[in-house]
Amino acid sequence: MGRRHTVFRMIAIQRVLVKYGLDDVIKETHLLRPLRFLFYLMPRRRDRSAPLGERIRLALEELGPIFVKFGQAISTRRDLIPADIADELAKLQDAVPPFPVEQAVAIIEGAYGESVDTVFDRFDQEPLAAASIAQVHTAKLKAGHEVIVKILRPGVQEQIESDLAVLKLLAGLADRYWEHGKRLRPLELVDEYEHTILDELDLMREAGNAAQLKRNFQGSNMLYVPDVFWDYCRPEVLVQERIYGTPISDMDALQEAGTNIQVLAENGVEIFFTQVFRHNFFHADMHPGNIFVIMTDPARPKYAAVDFGIVGTLSPEDQRYLAENFLAFFDRDYQRIAKLHLDSGWVPAGTRVDQLETAIRTVCEPIFNKPLSEISFAQMLMRLFRVAQRFDVEIQPQMILLHKTLFNIEGLGRQLYPQLDLWKTAHPVLKRWMDEQVGGRAVLKDLRQNLPQFRDAMRELPGIIQQLGEQVSEGRIKFDMQSPELRRIQEQLATQQRQRFWLTAAATAVVSGTLMLTLGSLPELAWLLLGAGAFAVYAARP
């Protein structure tokens, strides 16, 4: 995207802000501020008599998908913005103006190369929902399945690329001139967001995300993910099973049906932590417009998720670091949190652990033993942000999606059940995950994974030793009896013999212990054998 186009886009953004009477934003905009007088000469189509929330919502809708998504993100934070503005921005979840059905039909027929009537038994022209990236129509397949058809907005990719160019320009200026630019790494943040938003434009990718999430929660009584009809999916068209549920935001309907709201809220927290730590694959766009409740059994309500365009994963290092931070936080071990930050390289090497510990304690301690209604993660993170500034903590771009998802979860929890004990619900999930990573289960898992290597080593070692012995006996290996080379060969032979012994012992112990566990006999002896196998593997190391 050319620089000239980027500048024109920035001018267009300011024109929209003026149009809806949001002049204060322009006054705070340093770039192109001299041009604001040109905008004041343009006639406004709306005046300031319209409610502020409505004007903000309409401006975001006109500015396009990236800005709509920003409005969606903050609409759940009623603790941070006035209720009237939150109500207006909540309309961005599922009330974005649709594009004409004629365009939707043209996109579908272009994707399939045949008419809509040939593909579907019924295609409903009235959209079920319209969002910033795509809109959804209901339909019926020839085989009789009720489905939803998701269609990308026409021209959405060009518009997003244009806005990304603006963001990159602003991020480059911030990185170069802003005093906090180097620490906050704005260019990396924009790159991370670009990767995420562009992934949403390929509906085949979204279909794959949905299929993976469905496998992860197969048989779950907490979350249902609709089926994907792969034969009908294209990069610009997604066809999925239609689900019938109550929107999570419709509290009146949930209460009238006798839904157990406490169970629903606690399950939401467990689903989040299960996705992040057990599956390492989490739905990262969990705003209220994408979450429904299936109330077949109101005492045991079940979530149903839609819109899988944004998912997140973490590296094993970040996953382990995050889990240890959460557990230390739940245990109020602020020194551990400070050391984790130092060990991870997120703070400079010379940082005093005791000072960082004191600063973290000051922020976190006041929120313990409080219900969710009295806690604001956003405010807490703002205070932690000030601590980060003081200690030069680097922002980690790979955590942005996780932070966004956590805010969405908090917003849903606050809306559903403000008395939710977040710590009590999350702590057991994290404890189980940590046990699987470093406890007895982890040892057993590692041993099982290494069994093929033990087998191969036992098969290869006798041949290697025999071949070496033949070469020595036939005189093909000549050496000085007093030379250092002889001593090295002797040491290597001794090491190989020792490794062969320990690997054989390890394999025997592991196989015996695993068989005993499988048969359910003498479990104490089985675990003792597995422990002996682990020790043998350690002893076999060169």
Instruction: Flag whether pLDDT at 522 surpasses 60.
Output: no
Instruction: Flag whether pLDDT at 209 surpasses 80.
Output: yes
Q: What is the pLDDT of residue 28?
A: 46
Mean pLDDT of 299-309: 93
Specify the 3-state DSSP secondary structure of 332: coil
* Nearest-angstrom CA–CA distance, 175 and 233: 41
Higher-pLDDT residue of 52, 167: 52
* Nearest-angstrom CA–CA distance, 169 and 157: 18
Mean pLDDT of 309-329: 82
Mean pLDDT of 17-32: 61
Instruction: Answer for the pair 409, 269: CB distance below 8 angstroms, yes or no.
Output: yes
Q: What is the CA radius of gyration of the chain?
A: 30
Structure token pair of residue 462: 């006798």
* Nearest-angstrom CA–CA distance, 122 and 355: 66
Higher-pLDDT residue of 251, 27: 251
Mean pLDDT of 496-519: 56
Catalytic residue flag (residue 252): no
* Nearest-angstrom CA–CA distance, 214 and 217: 5
Q: Which residue has the tokens 């085949």?
A: 204
* Nearest-angstrom CA–CA distance, 91 and 71: 9
Q: Residues 6 or more apart from 8 whose CB is under 8 A from it?
A: none
* Nearest-angstrom CA–CA distance, 65 and 306: 18
Range among 15-24, 71-80, 285-294, 514-523 rated most confident:
285-294
* Nearest-angstrom CA–CA distance, 540 and 504: 10
CA end-to-end span of the chain: 56
State how beta strands 302-305 and 223-224 pair. Answer: parallel
For the ranges 321-325, 335-339, 355-359, the lowest mean pLDDT is seen at 321-325
Q: Which residue has the tokens 């340093």?
A: 30
Residues of the chain above pLDDT 90, percent: 23
Length of the chain: 542
To which H or E segment does residue 61 belong?
Answer: helix 52-63
Q: Which residue has the tokens 């200026």?
A: 173
Neighbouring CB atoms inside 10 A of 317's CB total 9
Residue 492 phi, psi (nearest 5) = -65, -40
* Nearest-angstrom CA–CA distance, 491 and 202: 59
Specify the 3-state DSSP secondary structure of 4: helix
Q: Give pLDDT tens digits for 407-430.
A: 777 777 777 888 877 777 777 877
Q: What is the pLDDT of residue 29?
A: 46
Q: What is the pLDDT of residue 205?
A: 95
- In eight-state DSSP terms, residue 218 is T
**Catalytic one of 285, 318, 331, 435:** 285
The pLDDT confidence band at residue 31, using thresholds 50, 70 and 90, is very low
* Nearest-angstrom CA–CA distance, 336 and 427: 17
Q: What is the pLDDT of residue 386?
A: 67
The domain locations on the chain are 3-90, 156-197, 257-437, 440-539
